[in-house]
Amino acid sequence: MTRRKKRGGDDGPEALRRQLQTLMEQQATAEALNDQVITPFIAALESVCGPRGYLLNIFGDSSNLVISTEDHAEAIYDLVEKYIDGTDLET
């Protein structure tokens, strides 16, 4: 049985994380980061999750990402905005 050689992490989740981080670091402003990386990433998620019926609430160490139905997206956005407005997270 032959085994494929590992190529030092050239593929897989860690490589994707590095590629995304490199692309993000190239953006000079929050607006550029949003336009060039975040919005296309979210559009890709939506194009996969929507047809599959996936509803996701992804919890990170210091972030959350929610993929919902279109009719719930604005309500979730408003809920998060109210939460941020009631804290000192922006300081």
Tokens of 32: 């550029």
**Any domain includes 9:** no
Residue 32 has what pLDDT? 97
Which are the contacts of 15, defined by CB distance < 8 A and separation ≥ 6? Answer: 9
**Any domain includes 36:** yes
Residue 4 has what pLDDT? 57
**Any domain includes 38:** yes
Is-contact 67 55, C-beta < 8 A?
A: yes
Residue 8 has what pLDDT? 56
In the chain (91 residues long), the average pLDDT of successive 10-residue segments reads 58 92 97 95 92 89 88 93 81 51
Q: Structurally, how many domains does the chain consist of?
A: 1
Residue 64 has what pLDDT? 86
**Any domain includes 76:** yes
Claim: this prediction has a pTM higher than 0.95: no
Q: Which amino acid is at 70?
A: E
